[in-house]
C-alpha cells in the first residue's frame, strides 16, 4: 500500500473515530467559536486581516503555564507592532481562568491582556490535535500555531508540558515569516531581524541585481546573501 493511500485510510479512520488529523503547514487553520476571558470569539472573524498566534496550555494554576502567560502578556506590544493577535487556550473553563488571572499578574508582573479560551470540553484542543495521548491523555502539549492573514498555518511548534516556550524565538520566527511573505528571501540559521538574508534560488543573478539594489554576495551558485531588504 502506497504511503499516500495509507495516510488517507488512517485519516478516514480518525474521522470515523471522531479524532482529527495533525494540522500541517499550508492547511487552513480550523475555525471555531469558543468562550474566552474576553467574551465569545469566532476565530476567523476575530483574526480579521491580522496574523494570529494560537497557543495551548496544559492546565490552569500550573507553574510553567503561569510564567508563559505572563511572558506573552509582557510581549503583547511586540505582537501588536507586527499586526499579530495572540490567543491562548487551556482545558479549563473561563471561570477558572478568571481566578488564575490574579496569580499571573501577582507573580509575573504582567496582567493577562489577550483572550484565553475556556476549553473544558477540549473542542479546540481536539480540533488542533493538541492532546498527544502518548505524552498525556488529558492535558494538552504546548502547541504554537502561527496563522497568516490568509488563515493558513505558517508554523507549528510542539513543546512538552515541562518546557516553557521561548518568546524571543516566537517573535523571531514571526519576523522571518513576515519578511519571507513579502520578499524573495529565506532566513539563515540563527537569523534575527536586521541580519543578512538568503536570496531564494528561483531568482536569477540578473533579476537579483534589480530586486536587491543593496547588492549580494555569491558564496556558491546556490548560496547568495544580501542585506535585509526592508531595513
**CA 54, CA 140: separation in Å to the nearest integer?**
13
Point out which span in 60-68, 104-112, 174-182, 199-207 binds ligand BEZ (CB under 6 A): 60-68
From 58, 70, 118, 148, residue interacting with ligand BEZ (rule: CB under 6 A): 58
Quick note: the x/- pattern for ligand BEZ over 141-170, rule CB under 6 A, is --------------------xx--------
Cα separation of the two ends of the chain: 51
36: Cβ contacts below 8 Å, ≥ 6 apart: 87, 94, 115, 116, 117, 118
**CA 12, CA 22: separation in Å to the nearest integer?**
13
Q: Is 47 exposed, middle or buried (0-12, 13-18, 19+ CB in 10 A)?
A: buried
**CA 61, CA 66: separation in Å to the nearest integer?**
7
From 32, 50, 62, 80, residue interacting with ligand BEZ (rule: CB under 6 A): 62
Measuring CA to CA, which residue among 207, 204, 213, 153 is closest to residue 177? 153
How many positions of this chain bind ligand BEZ (CB under 6 A)? 9
Point out which span in 11-19, 59-67, 189-197, 210-218 binds ligand BEZ (CB under 6 A): 59-67
- Catalytic position from the list 29, 47, 53, 65: 65
Residue 100 or residue 191: which is nearer to ligand BEZ going by CB?
100
Is 65 noted as a catalytic residue in this protein? Answer: yes
Rounded to 10°, the helix 167-182/63-74 angle is 50
Nearest approach in angstroms of CB 113 to ligand BEZ is 20
Residue 159 or residue 183: which is nearer to ligand BEZ going by CB?
159
Q: Is 132 in the site for ligand BEZ (CB under 6 A)?
A: no
From 53, 54, 65, 171, residue interacting with ligand BEZ (rule: CB under 6 A): 65
Point out which span in 15-23, 27-35, 57-65, 74-82 binds ligand BEZ (CB under 6 A): 57-65
Count of CB atoms situated within 10 Å of the CB of 89:
26
Q: Is 132 helix (H, G, I), strand (E, B) or coil?
A: coil
Q: Is 131 in the site for ligand BEZ (CB under 6 A)?
A: no
From 2, 39, 63, 213, residue interacting with ligand BEZ (rule: CB under 6 A): 63
Do residues 177 and 61 touch, judged by C-beta distance below 8 A?
Answer: no
Indicate which residues carry an active-site annotation: 65
Binding site for ligand BEZ (CB under 6 A): 58-59, 62-65, 139, 161-162
Amino acid at each position: 500500500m502506497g504511503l499516500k493511500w495509507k495516510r488517507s485510510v488512517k485519516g478516514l479512520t480518525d474521522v470515523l473515530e471522531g479524532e482529527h488529523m495533525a494540522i500541517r503547514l499550508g492547511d487552513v487553520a480550523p475555525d471555531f467559536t469558543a468562550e474566552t476571558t474576553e467574551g465569545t470569539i469566532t476565530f476567523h472573524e476575530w483574526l480579521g486581516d491580522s496574523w494570529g498566534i494560537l497557543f495551548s496550555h496544559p492546565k490552569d494554576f500550573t507553574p510553567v503555564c503561569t510564567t508563559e502567560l505572563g511572558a506573552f502578556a509582557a510581549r503583547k506590544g511586540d505582537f501588536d507592532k507586527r499586526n499579530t493577535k495572540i490567543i491562548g487556550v487551556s482545558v479549563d473553563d473561563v471561570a477558572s481562568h478568571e481566578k488564575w488571572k490574579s496569580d499571573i499578574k501577582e507573580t509575573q508582573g504582567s496582567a493577562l491582556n489577550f483572550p484565553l479560551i475556556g476549553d473544558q470540553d477540549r473542542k479546540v484542543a481536539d480540533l488542533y490535535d493538541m492532546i498527544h495521548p502518548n505524552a498525556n491523555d488529558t492535558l494538552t502539549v504546548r502547541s504554537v500555531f502561527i496563522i497568516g492573514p490568509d488563515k493558513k498555518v505558517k508554523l507549528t511548534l510542539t513543546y512538552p508540558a515541562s518546557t516553557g516556550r521561548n518568546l524571543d524565538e516566537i517573535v523571531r520566527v514571526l519576523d522571518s515569516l513576515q519578511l519571507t511573505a513579502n520578499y524573495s528571501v529565506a532566513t539563515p540559521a540563527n537569523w534575527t531581524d536586521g541580519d543578512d538574508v538568503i536570496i531564494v534560488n528561483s531568482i536569477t543573478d540578473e533579476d537579483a541585481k534589480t530586486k536587491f539594489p543593496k547588492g549580494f554576495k555569491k558564496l556558491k551558485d546556490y548560496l547568495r546573501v544580501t542585506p535585509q531588504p526592508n531595513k
